Amino acid sequence: MIRHPNRRRIVAWVLAATASIGLLAACNPKQIDAFVKSSGGVDGLTANLKGAFGSVDQPKEIEMGRGVAETLLGARPLHDDPALQRYVNEVGAWVASQSERADLPWRFGVNDSDHVNAFAAPGGIIIVTRGMLRLLENEAELAGVLGHEVGHVVRKHHLNAMKKGAWTNLLGAGASAATAGKGGGALVDALVGPTKELYSRGLDKDDEYEADRVGVVLATRAGYDPYGLAGALQTLGKIKADDPYLALLTKTHPNPGQRLDRLGEAMGENLTRFEAQPRNEARFAAAVKALRTAKPD
């Protein structure tokens, strides 16, 4: 299961990326300040972090993902429905098993938010909102949505975003807070902030388009109707763009029409021979029945 938030975990994996940094786990604020200074100040620490991000191995990636997931779950906890959590995990794990990174410890969760969205964290942690589940019409659509998020992990989109400097620039600001005398607490706060910033800003459009393509392929390999993700995008496209429950999704993704156009270009007629594969409407309806009858917050 995905554990509840622990903001210091995010600092742990970031600091673990630099040489001898594991020693900082038990350091006090003065020791952290001293470490930043001994690393060459803000510029030196940032350079070390950039170098470390260029060679993130799988264990580090998994640890990073846990920190990211815990930060995301700090806003909304997991939805209290064990049966639904098991169902989404079963569908997601089966879709993820079709990828070239099937060996990751994949975990899927439904968070307690009525906003329509889904998130992927490095290392194989996927979170979908209960608002998204209410919107979907069948299991093939769920498989497509989860496949899209799996695609982000498989293609290491979030790790690549970090390498491009989106994180390290902000980490430099965190180091500045420490060297300015604000202590370890300020550094912790500044290191947690970039996680939220990355997920509120979103990835590059090309990453989203690639994740759509990967998601369709994985869902099809898993035995689902290949047009499940397209069906979900069509439903999203019918909702007004200024709907408050779509605000973050709209901000972080290309609009559904653009995504459908790109998918259409990529898929062509290649997957029509699989369109008779099941959508599993009845099983999906049974799994989300309690969710749909409950009133939104």
Domain map of the chain by residue range?
59-158+202-293
Q: Distance (Å, rounded) from C-alpha 237 to C-alpha 258?
A: 10
Helix (H, G, I), strand (E, B) or coil at 121: strand
Q: Distance (Å, rounded) from C-alpha 294 to C-alpha 112?
A: 12
| Mean pLDDT value of segment 201-230 | 95
If you average pLDDT over every residue of the chain, what do you get? 80
Is the predicted pLDDT of residue 192 greater than 60, yes or no?
no
- Confidence at residue 61, expressed as pLDDT on a 0 to 100 scale: 87
Summarize pLDDT for 160-185 with one digit per residue, the tens: 776 665 455 545 555 555 445 544 44
Structure confidence at residue 191 as a pLDDT band (50, 70, 90): very low
- Confidence at residue 16, expressed as pLDDT on a 0 to 100 scale: 46
- Confidence at residue 60, expressed as pLDDT on a 0 to 100 scale: 83
Neighbours of 236 (CB within 10 A): 22
| Mean pLDDT value of segment 192-217 | 83
| Confidence (pTM) | 0.78
More confident residue, 203 or 260: 260
Residue where the block lists tokens 């098993």 = 97
Is the predicted pLDDT of residue 134 greater than 60, yes or no?
yes
Close Cβ partners of 89 (under 8 Å, ≥ 6 residues apart) = 107, 108, 109
Q: How many helices (H) and strands (E) does the chain have?
A: 15, 3
